[in-house]
Homo-oligomer: A and B are copies of this chain.
Amino acid sequence: MLLKDLQGSDDKPIYERIAEQVKFAVASGVLRPGDLVPSVRELSKQLVVNPNTVARAYRELQNESVVEPVRGTGLVVSENALAQCKKDRKEIVRKRLREAIAEARLSRLDAHEIEAIFREEWSRTNGVKLV
């Protein structure tokens, strides 16, 4: 089973979550360049969604050049997908941090306060302290 179940934050559409999971699988090496991704029909059965929804996710991945079609065979992970997906993930982290910082600025929190919150949340998911 390549991809996890589709749960969690329901604010994002299903097709986007599917696309993200595939990109995640690429970034983490589970799917490698040249690999065939599960067929639309197969994945739609696994995830219990309509094939069209999977197809739409795959279309997005094609637009982003993460996968490319091989006629009559299926979709394969493209060569540059690994580098791109890794970079994408780092960008997501950066974007989220930027949003957090923007909010902090607006709220007139100073460096100490936000740092304190950051440490709290960091250790909340990991016993280790941030030096």
Contact = CB atoms under 8 A, between A and B. Distances in A.
Interface string A5-32: 0000010011000000000100110000
A113 B41 CA distance: 39
Given A94-B121, A117-B93, A121-B97, A131 B103 contact: no
A101 interface: yes
Nearest to A118: B97
B101 A121 contact: yes
A129 B50 CA distance: 50
A109 B90 contact: yes
A98 B9 CA distance: 14
Interface of A: 10, 13-14, 24, 27-28, 50, 63, 69, 71-72, 86, 89-90, 92-94, 96-109, 111, 114-115, 117-118, 120-122, 124-126, 128, 130-131
